[in-house]
């Protein structure tokens, strides 16, 4: 029968009673209120200890003294034992006992070690191994003192006979004369990957079949070594070895190859008798040692001659890192390079072969330059810059005619297309009704040679380029002399955007020419006023040259194009008819849903979103014009009018007829006689033009 902590009759404990205290130091109710894991968090008591281990395998030793650290954690009364590591002891070291609560020795093995068992001088039996505590750190000493425990001073552990024997043996292995210590680690750490680079030449023209050979000299500051690499020109006839001089220290004076062991770093003397069981000793006096000097960084400079094993190598130049090194370390400021290159009396003639007639000229010429023919390289950057990208075709289209006395040939009109991506030309003849000429493709797309060139040239022929195409130019293509008298709007805009390629479309160059012209011709200003009798400040009707067209386009009056509502609605209905769009009921429901007040009017953005949500097949530019014409003054649109305008089946709108001039022009066989700007008849603000030229007008408006 267990009665807890109550005593039996006469104060004798009953069977099963446990009278051991429930605490380690403090009595219950006297300690801090905080729990142990919080009060002693991150606090560790460290003790120095040792234990004696018996050795039965070796007759030379009977035991060993093994030192360790014992860590006690007050927060949970756990213990950890870690052995100090020693070199070459022959057994595993480190953690002997992992951290956990260690039970006491039997018969008290149901209890665990607590703080009162740990003190300097006490012995602990941990799993059959007895540890003797010899010292502790300052924190542990203060911790135990606060608990009221007297901590004795520390003492030294007993001497280990095995370690003493090992120290004697290790001391006997030291040499009688210490080795000469050369500290190269500091230099390596400070100058690792720091390399001085010099350019040098070796003039070997005095010998038979000798020539001038160029080198690159690398000096490594980390270990004062150098290497020399040869720079071989193309077709030199020499093999290409990796290096001319392998990396190593270069002696200043070369006196032939040394015998093996003659230039050794240490001198060895043979001896008689048994001296340390050896027949040789190191020479302290270094008798017979060779004091050989080597090149260092202070011996290198531009203009100095190096003796590379009998070869006189002249240093001619160095790189920027080398210059900074000599500026900071030696204060050198002059780094003028030496131009050491002999000019050949005769220039080698490069033989070329004429064009074979097969393939392109570039392909035929490349087959004569290499044993294994390679395809000619194309200008990839130009191709990617001017290749077709969406609606940007990068094609210049010009209207041309043939200059000839034959009336039938002179009446023919051609469209010459120039492709900026690869400088090719394509000529097309628009068919003309009842002309007797079929029309169609006149010239396949290809690069065209300029006239008066050999059919089988030795070098690459000269082809027509971008600079040769402009309004007013004359091109002779395959025996036909073409006059370029017009271009489309895209060609004019493209040439003006890339005016660095087209001088005829460069306004700054044209204005410079006009300034020179007006400075030498004082009657030029009156010519502008003579063509403006009403003094409106503009003139027109005689623009034919590309340079004049460029100036006229820049100073042209801006005319805002106005769209007719019926024309726009007819175009919108035609677009819907082509896409077979008839589902107007979802659009109507969407518009009504967006109009909670049922006024029949919506903002422009709401109408746009409704049209996009039902996927009305209208391009953005046409949709913007259409909504702009339907928008009222307050920014709202009557969506009933919108639905009526879109319904091409119930309310079709016919496109207005074009003016008589445009209708007649569509069927006019001479529609290509006039240029684009002659048909437009735009006006030019010549007052602004004269103002930019620095000229004054006398007319008044």
How many Cα atoms are found within 13 Å in the side-chain-facing hemisphere of 258? 11
Q: Which two tokens stand for residue 523?
A: 């009657």
What phi and psi, each to the nearest 5 degrees, are found at residue 570? Answer: -65, -40
Euclidean distance between CA atoms 119 and 278, whole angstroms: 55
Nearest of 590, 626, 585 to residue 609 by alpha carbon: 590
Q: Quote the Cα angle for 200-203-205, to 5°.
A: 160
Are the CB atoms for 321 and 220 separated by under 8 Å? no
Residue 122, C-beta contacts closer than 8 angstroms, at least 6 positions apart: 133
Model pLDDT, residue 541: 42
Nearest of 508, 482, 514 to residue 496 by alpha carbon: 508
Q: Which residues of the chain have pLDDT under 50?
A: 1-4, 26-27, 539-544, 663, 665-667, 699-701
Euclidean distance between CA atoms 313 and 204, whole angstroms: 10
Euclidean distance between CA atoms 699 and 409, whole angstroms: 47
CATH architecture classification, 36-166: Roll (2.30)
Euclidean distance between CA atoms 690 and 464, whole angstroms: 35
Nearest of 564, 582, 558, 571 to residue 628 by alpha carbon: 564
Ramachandran class of 394: left when φ > 0, alpha when ψ lies in -120 to 50, beta otherwise:
left
SS3 at position 75: coil
Model pLDDT, residue 113: 94
Model pLDDT, residue 27: 47
What is this structure's pTM? 0.44
CATH architecture classification, 186-330: Roll (2.30)
Domain boundaries, the chain: 36-166, 186-330, 380-505, 565-646
The residues pairing with 486 across neighbouring beta strands, listed in sequence order, are: 399
Are the CB atoms for 27 and 15 separated by under 8 Å? no
Burial (CB < 10 A; 0-12, 13-18, 19+), residue 105, is middle
Cis peptide before 605 (omega within 30 of 0): no
Q: How many CB atoms lie within 10 A of CB 201?
A: 19
Q: Which two tokens stand for residue 518?
A: 């007006």
Euclidean distance between CA atoms 448 and 461, whole angstroms: 10
CATH topology of domain 565-646: Recoverin; domain 1 (1.10.238)
The residues pairing with 312 across neighbouring beta strands, listed in sequence order, are: 307
Are the CB atoms for 671 and 678 separated by under 8 Å? no
HEC letters along 316-363: EEECHHHHHHHHHHHCCCCCCCCCCCCCCCCCCCCCCCCCCCCCCHHH
Model pLDDT, residue 196: 94
Find the length of the chain: 701
Residue with tokens 């005095």: 206
Model pLDDT, residue 526: 65
**Alpha helices, DSSP H only, in 13-152?**
36-39, 138-146
Give CA separation, 591 vs 72, 569, 611, 634, in Å: 82, 19, 9, 18
Do 380-505 and 186-330 have the same topology in CATH?
yes
CATH 1.10.1760.20 is right for the domain spanning 380-505:
no
Euclidean distance between CA atoms 530 and 561, whole angstroms: 30
């Amino acid at each position: 029968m267990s009665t807890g902590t109550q005593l039996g009759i006469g104060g004798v404990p009953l069977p099963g009673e446990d009278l051991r205290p429930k605490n380690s130091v403090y009595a219950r109710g006297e300690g801090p209120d905080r729990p142990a894991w919080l009060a002693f968090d991150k606090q560790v008591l460290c003790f120095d200890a040792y234990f004696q281990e018996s050795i039965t395998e070796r007759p030379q030793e009977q035991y060993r003294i093994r030192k360790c650290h014992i860590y006690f954690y007050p927060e949970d009364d756990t213990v950890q034992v870690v052995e100090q590591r020693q070199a070459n002891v022959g057994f595993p070291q480190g953690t002997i006992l992992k951290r956990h609560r260690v039970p006491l020795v039997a018969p008290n093995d149901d209890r665990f070690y607590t703080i009162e068992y740990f003190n300097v001088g006490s012995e602990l039996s941990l799993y059959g191994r007895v540890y003797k505590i010899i010292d502790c750190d300052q924190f542990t000493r203060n911790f135990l003192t606060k608990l009221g425990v007297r901590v004795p001073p520390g003492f030294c552990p007993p001497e280990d006979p095995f370690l003493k024997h090992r120290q004697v043996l290790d001391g006997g292995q030291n040499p009688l004369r210490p080795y000469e210590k050369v500290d190269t680690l500091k230099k390596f750490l400070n100058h690792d990957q720091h390399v001085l680079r010099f350019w040098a030449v070796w003039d070997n023209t005095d010998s038979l079949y000798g020539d001038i050979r160029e080198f690159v000299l690398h000096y490594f500051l980390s270990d004062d070594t150098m290497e020399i690499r040869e720079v071989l020109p193309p077709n030199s006839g020499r093999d290409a070895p990796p290096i001319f001089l392998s990396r190593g220290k270069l002696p200043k004076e070369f006196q032939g190859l040394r015998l093996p062991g003659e230039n050794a770093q240490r001198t060895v003397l043979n001896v008689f008798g048994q001296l340390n069981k050896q027949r040789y000793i190191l020479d302290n006096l270094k008798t017979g040692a060779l004091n050989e000097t080597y090149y260092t960084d202070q011996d290198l400079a531009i203009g100095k001659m190096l003796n590379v094993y009998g070869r006189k190598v002249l240093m001619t130049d160095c790189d920027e890192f080398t210059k900074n090194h000599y500026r900071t370390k030696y204060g050198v400021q002059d780094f003028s390079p030496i131009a050491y290159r002999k000019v050949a009396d005769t220039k080698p003639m490069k033989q070329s072969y004429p064009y074979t007639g097969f393939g392109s000229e570039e392909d035929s010429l490349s087959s004569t330059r290499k044993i294994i023919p390679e395809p000619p390289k194309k200008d990839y950057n130009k191709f990617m810059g001017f290749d077709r990208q969406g609606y940007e075709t990068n094609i210049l289209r010009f209207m041309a005619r043939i200059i000839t006395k034959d009336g039938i040939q002179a009446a023919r009109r051609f469209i010459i297309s120039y492709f900026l991506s690869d400088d090719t030309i394509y000529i097309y003849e628009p068919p003309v009704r009842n002309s007797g000429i079929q029309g169609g493709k006149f010239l396949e797309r290809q690069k065209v040679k300029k006239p008066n060139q050999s059919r089988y040239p030795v070098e690459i022929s000269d082809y027509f380029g971008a600079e040769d195409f402009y309004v007013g130019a004359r091109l002779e293509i395959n025996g036909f002399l073409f006059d370029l008298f017009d271009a489309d709007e895209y060609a004019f805009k493209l040439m003006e955007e890339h005016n660095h390629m087209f001088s005829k479309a460069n306004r700054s160059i044209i204005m410079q020419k006009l300034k020179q012209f007006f400075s030498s011709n004082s009657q030029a200003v009156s010519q502008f006023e003579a063509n403006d009798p009403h003094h409106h400040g503009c003139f027109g009707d005689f623009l034919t040259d590309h340079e004049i067209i460029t100036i006229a386009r820049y100073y042209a009056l801006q005319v805002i194009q106005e769209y007719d509502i019926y024309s726009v609605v007819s175009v919108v209905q035609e677009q819907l008819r082509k896409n077979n769009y008839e589902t107007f009921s979802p659009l109507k429901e969407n518009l009504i849903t967006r109009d909670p007040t049922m006024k029949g009017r919506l903002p422009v953005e709401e109408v746009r979103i409704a049209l996009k949500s039902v996927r009305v097949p209208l391009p953005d530019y046409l949709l913007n014009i259409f909504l702009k014409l339907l928008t009222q003054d307050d920014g709202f649109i009557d969506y009933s009018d919108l639905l009526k305008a879109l319904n091409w089946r119930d309310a079709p709108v016919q496109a207005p007829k074009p003016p008589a001039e445009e209708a007649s022009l569509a069927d006019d066989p001479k529609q290509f006689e006039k240029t684009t700007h002659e048909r437009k008849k735009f006006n030019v603000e010549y007052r602004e033009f004269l103002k930019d030229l620095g000229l004054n007008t006398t007319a008044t408006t």
